[in-house]
Amino acid sequence: MPYSSTALLHYANQLLTAAGLTQDKARAVAEVLLEGDLLGHNTHGLGLLGPYLAELESGAMTKDGEPTVLADFDAAVTWDGRRLPGPWLVLKAMALATERAARLGTCTVVIRRSHHIASLAAFLKRATDQGLLMVLTCSDPNGESVAPFGGLDAVFTPNPISAGIPTSTLPVLMDVSTSATTNGLTNRLHKEGRQLPAAWVMDGHGQPSADPAVLFQEPKGTILPLGGIDSGHKGYGLTLLVEALTGGLAGHGRADPKEGWGATVFLQIIDPRAFAGLDAFTRQTDTVTDRCRASRPAQAGKPVRTPGENGLRLSEQQLRDGVDLYPSIMPSLAPWARKYGVAEPEAAP
């Protein structure tokens, strides 16, 4: 059942303001969550709105105020996010880093104690539309679901890495976990009694499995690092890099007491104009992406795509024809709509 993107944005915005967010914060969170669904990341779109509202109600997500500046070296900035809404913090950091990168060529903002930041892919096109290269990654020091390669005990969260790379046409929008899958997908499939597409998790005895239920049984299983049981050392290495860029640079992470669901964030904006120039940059990125798409498909009828290409086309189609939400999302928001007296949006014609 599709919904107008405008109606969904209005609905999310109303719920968030009713829960106590100011208009600017509510709008930022609503836009980023909707963008997740538009791009097809439906575990990290409006499906997060109910949990966010619960965090606002409990006080686990801070409603008011600004981040605290802990360090400012012009091109290197550190904030304490004070558990404010993650999407709003990231957009605020992007604006600062973009302004400074125009002067300095690059700017990095790290944020400790942010609340959850939703889909990383949802932020990238805002940078590439301006001809900027963006790197965004995060970890959640309050959770452990991924074991180090060769181990049984969870240490990490899925620790995604994302990047937005401008070209003269479709940008590259990369958003990948450094684990084989995500908490969002395993939680959803477990609730629905369904299996993963492949053996992306490991039971508590070290056996690979496609059943997310092993994550909830004793002894508890874990999500495998990217690369799985055979080559998970690669994902393990990337996970450690994320930990260094987030918790390490922010000076706050797994060495500190847990505070609840959240994120430590690394965000970097690089302006190609300060290097060889934007035209020279896109000449290279155009050539590489064109050659990728021209590569003979390994399976007939399945041409090579660049990361994010399918999501951008899906977004364009859903903006035109309506957003197809995952079936559980609107029912999960119905109690909040009743609680706050907000009318549910009607399905698009």
Please give the Cα distance from 218 to 199 (Å, whole number): 19
Residue 256 reports pLDDT greater than 90: yes
CB burial readout 50-81, b (16+ within 10 A) else e:
bebbebbeeeebbbeeebeeeeeeebbbbbbb
pLDDT digits (tens, 9 = 90+) for 303-349: 999 999 999 999 999 999 999 999 999 999 999 999 999 999 998 87
Q: Which residues contact 284 (CB under 8 A, 6 or more apart)?
A: none
173-212 confidence digits (pLDDT tens)? 999 999 999 999 999 999 999 999 999 999 999 999 999 9
Distance (Å, rounded) from C-alpha 331 to C-alpha 3?
14
Distance from C-alpha of 82 to C-alpha of 68, rounded to nearest angstrom: 7
DSSP letters along 62-77, please?
--S--PEEEEE-SSEE
Strands of the sheet with 68-72, listed across from one edge: 68-72, 76-80, 106-114, 263-270, 133-139, 161-165, 172-176
Q: From 3.30.1370.60, 3.40.1280.10, 3.30.390.50, 3.30.1330.40, which CATH number describes the 67-176+231-272 domain?
A: 3.30.1370.60
Residue 92 has pLDDT above 90, yes or no: yes
The CATH number given to 181-223 is: 3.30.60.50
On average, the pLDDT of the chain sits at 97
pLDDT of amino acid 348: 84
pLDDT of residue 68: 98
Residues 345/10, Cβ–Cβ less than 8 Å: yes
The DSSP secondary structure of 203-220, one letter per residue, reads: -TTS-EES-GGGGGSSSP
The model's confidence at residue 1, banded by pLDDT at 50, 70 and 90, is confident
Query: What are the extents of the domains in the chain?
Result: 1-64+305-349, 67-176+231-272, 181-223
CATH number of 1-64+305-349: 1.10.1530.10
